[in-house]
Amino acid sequence: MGGDVLLNVAATMSHSRANGPGVRAVIWVQGCTIGCPGCYNAFTHAHKQKNLVSPQTIAEWVAGLDGIEGVSFSGGEPFEQAKAVWLTTQAIRRMNPSLTFFSYSGFDLDVLQQSRDENVTGLLNELDILSAGPYMHSKRDSGLLWRGSSNQKLHYLSDVYSESKEFEWSRSSPVEEFHFDGDVIHFTGFEGKGSKFMRAVNHELKSLSTSG
């Protein structure tokens, strides 16, 4: 099923607490035409080939991960690769029926619901939670759960989760997060340029360059 469809992947993280309920695998897709000014993941905006991966390959990667509650899709814009992401969720669900799906989108939910693209509709039907809306720097609020500006909304699309758990999640989900895999530091979160971690890294790099 969908053997010729590949997902253009910008990056992945095997275990994250900053991108949805519980511990989740995260897949950042490459390509976004919305291009919100101030977007934290601007490196994913260009529509260029990064890592073309089949839905089945991603599903097998996910199946090998221990201790995750689900998978989150970020970007980039997942709905600009709706068919590939939808096929990926189906492949994952066939191997891991208990996992949940969370996705970010720069499109508002009503725009997606009005789409005549069956792949958009199909993907929406697979999701448990959608964080939707364009990032607006003038409405930036780092205290929000799984979103960066106050115009963005969390939508519960299945009965697995509900808004009643948001207070609990806000206490356990970090605003920023990083993992070191031995070669690369993987960083994610919603602090953007205000990130204490990134400010510390930049300060250290400047110190090294001036002393060298």
More confident residue, 33 or 181: 33
Q: CB–CB of 37/68 below 8 Å?
A: no
Q: CB–CB of 151/179 below 8 Å?
A: no
Name the pTM for this structure. Answer: 0.84
We find that the CATH architecture of domain 7-211 is Alpha-Beta Barrel (3.20)
**Worst-scoring range by mean pLDDT, 43-47, 134-138, 199-203?**
199-203
Please give the Cα distance from 12 to 179 (Å, whole number).
Answer: 11
**Worst-scoring range by mean pLDDT, 36-40, 82-86, 134-138?**
36-40
Could you tell me the CA-to-CA distances from 21 to 54, 78, 155, 176 in Å, in that order? Answer: 25, 18, 13, 15
Residue 212 per-residue DSSP state: -
What average pLDDT is seen over the chain? 87
Q: CB–CB of 31/73 below 8 Å?
A: no
| Domain spans, the chain | 7-211
Which residues contact residue 56 at a Cβ distance below 8 angstroms, ignoring those fewer than 6 apart? 91
